[in-house]
């Protein structure tokens, strides 16, 4: 998650490879500004099936 109007970082920092969402019109206090939205976005992310980034030997 990235807020579009944060003054703590440059807008290009929101362009994270693999990022899920940029919440327009919010600042670095995004969880305080839109707590219900943040909670829903986190729940949606956690509910998604994630593929392993790497496999340890013997764990196929």
- The domain of 13 spans 1-33
Residue with tokens 């729940």: 43
> Which pLDDT does position 52 carry in this prediction?
65
Q: Is 55 within a domain?
A: no
Partner residues linked to 22 by β-bridges: 2
* Interacting residues of 38 by C-beta distance below 8 A, sequence separation 6+: 1, 30, 31
> Which pLDDT does position 53 carry in this prediction?
66
Q: Is 14 within a domain?
A: yes
> Which pLDDT does position 12 carry in this prediction?
66
Q: Is 10 within a domain?
A: yes
Q: Is 1 within a domain?
A: yes
Domain tally, the chain: 1
Q: Is 41 within a domain?
A: no
The answer to whether the pTM exceeds 0.75 is no
Binned average pLDDT, 10 residues per bin, the chain of 60 residues: 69 64 84 93 82 67
Q: Is 52 within a domain?
A: no
> Which pLDDT does position 29 carry in this prediction?
87
| Dist. CA 23–CA 45, nearest whole Å | 15
**Tokens representing 36?**
């219900």
């Amino acid at each position: 998650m990235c807020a579009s109007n944060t003054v703590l970082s440059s807008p290009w920092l929101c362009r994270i490879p693999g990022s899920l969402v940029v919440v327009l019109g919010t600042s670095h206090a995004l969880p305080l500004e839109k707590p219900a939205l943040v909670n829903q976005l986190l729940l949606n992310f956690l509910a998604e099936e994630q593929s392993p980034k790497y496999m340890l030997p013997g764990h196929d």
